[in-house]
A and B are shown apart, each in its own frame.
Chain A
Amino acid sequence: MNLPISLTVNGVRRNVELEDPRVTLLDLLRERLDLTGTKKGCDRGQCGACTVLVDGRRINSCLALAVSLDGADILTIEGVAHGSELHPLQAAFIAHDGLQCGFCTPGQIMSAIGLIEEGQAGDDPERVREGMSGNLCRCGAYAGITEAVLDAQRSLTGAKQGRAA
């Protein structure tokens, strides 16, 4: 059974023929589209390393079948920077030491982009920690991650307000 699907990945339309419906979005990104920035940690929805945005919402790409997402708009870590200019969250993770080994970092950053877009946490560190609890960091860089998210939240919402004014 051949299953043709079409996805927009980081702004580029990608047409893919799936030979097998078992392919997850995560495996499609890594194995077929060579976008290996998205990481496979637990592969069971428990660690958050595979977090990407689907139609603007952060989800675990390991627990989504690619075939079911036909037509969706996907944003991965490869698509967040503008050329050599880092996304504000990427810059904030570096500035605040929000990582050590870096394996969970793409998932952390995609999750944080989703968190800020959701607009529920604001500048409350407790709501940021709770909202980021789906992303585990075995190096324990949580303090820096929280600082980075709060910092980027301030600059991103400030920029938005600046544009509105």
Chain B
Amino acid sequence: MKHFDYVRPASIADAVAAAAEPGAVYLAAGTNVLDLMKGGVIRPNRLVDVTRLPGLDRIEHLPDGGVRIGALVRNADLGHDAHFAKSWPAVAEALLSGASAQLRNAATVGGNLLQRTRCGYFYDPASACNKREPGSGCDARGGENRLHAVLGWSEACIATHPSDFCVPLVALDAVVEIEGRGGRREVALEALHRLPGDTPERDSVLEPGDLIVALRLPGDAAGFAAHARYIKVRERTSFAFAVVSAAAGLRIEQGTIRDARLALGGVAAKPWRARAAEQILAGASPRAEAFRRAAETALADAKPSGDNQFKIELAQRILVRALTLAAAGTPQRVPALPASPFSSKAGALIDA
């Protein structure tokens, strides 16, 4: 690991000033940043430790039914917060399906939003990667790419965003509060992450020094709580990133879907909101036929970036599964295997 300066500012203003310098990186729990530094993937000159900044570790339930989550709230604390999980069950399920208990105890909400792709070529300094080293090429294009993007990718980069948490958040219109050199501003989570285009080295719209201080979910999005799920296919039962995942929220009145929220994970460089598919579900009967049509619409523009044609069909099936399970009703408690498409009862099958 390259040597770096360590600073621990006492205020947000000091943190922003310290992190705006070239080569500076924020440090919260470090579960992603230290891993990247150990692998030589990033080589910061300065770490700006934000873990002692005051006031960023609170979960505030707002009068309109929404919630404001400080950027330093730990994933486990949010996922296990009973009040939060009652209003935002798909978000809690996504949080508890990610990583391991140890990592969830450390990792922060703000850090989760900004975690880097898990593309193996990004992680390997000996490989060409336009995201790690602009202009160097993309070894993923001709390499092991069965887990790479099928939506929104470019010739320069086919990496995916790895977050589970972001998938239901983007479905539910989450907003990010950012403190920067120009003061405070808000960005819809859907607009935070960038598609690669010709500049895959820029993951997000954040500018140097920008610090995510909080995340907000609007009160009206809690209206999906009765029919909300996050479903994730992994290559092992637990402690694995999504091959493909989906968040589904439905408002069902008198047997008809009034409103739907859908998003996909593991398919693109950002959490992927499926608005056209939501339109198809509004006014439809919550049945397999409508779910399948919505899923086909959500993936209509998908194309393989390598050996990953299968992800297009898989993503559709996982959307149908998420919708089917959401329509059946949110479980009282997050299941023993959060987000698993497989039944936890031995021998029982769930048919999509």
Q: Do A and B come from one complex?
A: yes
Q: Contact residues of A with B, CB < 8 Å?
A: 1, 3, 20-22, 24, 43-45, 48, 51, 57-60, 63-65, 67-68, 111, 114-115, 118, 120, 124, 126-127, 129-135
List 9 A-B pairs, minimum CB-CB distance, nearest first: A134-B100, A21-B6, A133-B238, A126-B336, A133-B239, A57-B105, A59-B106, A134-B102, A127-B336
Nearest to A126 among chain B residues (CB) is B336
A1 to B106, CA, bound (A): 27
- The reply to whether B337 and A60 form a contact with Cβ atoms under 8 Å apart is no
Nearest to B99 among chain A residues (CB) is A134
Stretch at the interface among B31-39, B148-156, B181-189, B285-293: B31-39
- The reply to whether B238 and A45 form a contact with Cβ atoms under 8 Å apart is no
Q: B1, B29, B103, B105: which contacts A22 (Cβ < 8 A)?
A: B1
Nearest to A124 among chain B residues (CB) is B336
- The reply to whether A1 and B35 form a contact with Cβ atoms under 8 Å apart is no
A48 to B102, CA, bound (A): 8
Q: B27, B31, B103, B337: which contacts A130 (Cβ < 8 A)?
A: B337
- The reply to whether B38 and A44 form a contact with Cβ atoms under 8 Å apart is yes
- The reply to whether A58 and B105 form a contact with Cβ atoms under 8 Å apart is yes
Q: Is the interface of A mostly helix, strand, loop or mixed?
A: mixed
- The reply to whether B3 and A22 form a contact with Cβ atoms under 8 Å apart is yes
Nearest to A59 among chain B residues (CB) is B106
A58 to B105, CA, bound (A): 7
CB neighbours of A63 from chain B (8 A): 29-31, 34-35, 103, 106
Quick one: CB contact mask for B85-104 with A, threshold 8 Å, 1 for yes?
A: 00000000000000111110
Interface members, chain B 1-22 (any A CB < 8 Å): 1, 3-6, 8
B279 interface contact, C-beta 8 A: no
B57 interface contact, C-beta 8 A: no
Instruction: Kindly list 12 other residue pairs between chains A and B, CB separation below 8 angstroms, not including A64-B106, A133-B237.
Output: A21-B4, A43-B38, A57-B106, A58-B102, A59-B106, A60-B106, A63-B31, A64-B29, A114-B101, A126-B337, A130-B338, A133-B100
B51 interface contact, C-beta 8 A: yes
A58 to B74, CA, bound (A): 13
Taking each of A1, A115, A126, A133, which has the highest tally of chain B beta carbons within 10 Å of its own beta carbon? Answer: A133
CB neighbours of B47 from chain A (8 A): 21, 65
CB neighbours of B8 from chain A (8 A): 68
CB neighbours of B3 from chain A (8 A): 20, 22
Interface size class of B (residues with CB under 8 A): 20 to 34
A120 to B95, CA, bound (A): 15
- The reply to whether B100 and A48 form a contact with Cβ atoms under 8 Å apart is yes
CB neighbours of B51 from chain A (8 A): 68
Nearest to A53 among chain B residues (CB) is B105
Q: Knowing A21-B47, A126-B336, A127-B336 touch, does A51 contact B102 (C-beta < 8 A)?
A: yes
Taking each of B29, B47, B100, B344, which has the highest tally of chain A beta carbons within 10 Å of its own beta carbon? Answer: B100
Write the nearest CB–CB distance from B13 to chain A, whole angstroms. Answer: 20
Nearest to A127 among chain B residues (CB) is B336
A129 to B238, CA, bound (A): 9
Interface members, chain B 199-227 (any A CB < 8 Å): none
Q: Knowing A126-B337, A133-B239 touch, does A67 contact B6 (C-beta < 8 A)?
A: yes
- The reply to whether A118 and B101 form a contact with Cβ atoms under 8 Å apart is yes
A20 to B1, CA, bound (A): 11
A38 to B239, CA, bound (A): 21
Quick one: CB contact mask for B324-339 with A, threshold 8 Å, 1 for yes?
A: 0000000000001110
25 contacts between A and B (CB under 8 A): A21-B5, A22-B4, A24-B34, A45-B31, A45-B102, A45-B103, A48-B100, A60-B103, A60-B106, A63-B29, A63-B30, A64-B29, A64-B30, A65-B27, A65-B49, A67-B6, A68-B8, A68-B51, A111-B101, A114-B105, A118-B76, A133-B100, A133-B239, A134-B101, A134-B103
- The reply to whether A130 and B105 form a contact with Cβ atoms under 8 Å apart is no
Q: Knowing A21-B47, A127-B336 touch, does A68 contact B38 (C-beta < 8 A)?
A: no
Nearest to B77 among chain A residues (CB) is A57
CB neighbours of B102 from chain A (8 A): 45, 48, 51, 58-60, 111, 114, 134
B83 interface contact, C-beta 8 A: no
CB neighbours of B29 from chain A (8 A): 63-64
Write the nearest CB–CB distance from B301 to chain A, whole angstroms. Answer: 34
CB neighbours of A59 from chain B (8 A): 102-103, 105-106
CB neighbours of B31 from chain A (8 A): 45, 60, 63
Write the nearest CB–CB distance from B15 to chain A, whole angstroms. Answer: 14
Write the nearest CB–CB distance from A11 to chain B, whole angstroms. Answer: 21
- The reply to whether A58 and B6 form a contact with Cβ atoms under 8 Å apart is no
A44 to B99, CA, bound (A): 13
Interface members, chain B 64-84 (any A CB < 8 Å): 76, 80
Taking each of A60, A114, A127, which has the highest tally of chain B beta carbons within 10 Å of its own beta carbon? Answer: A60
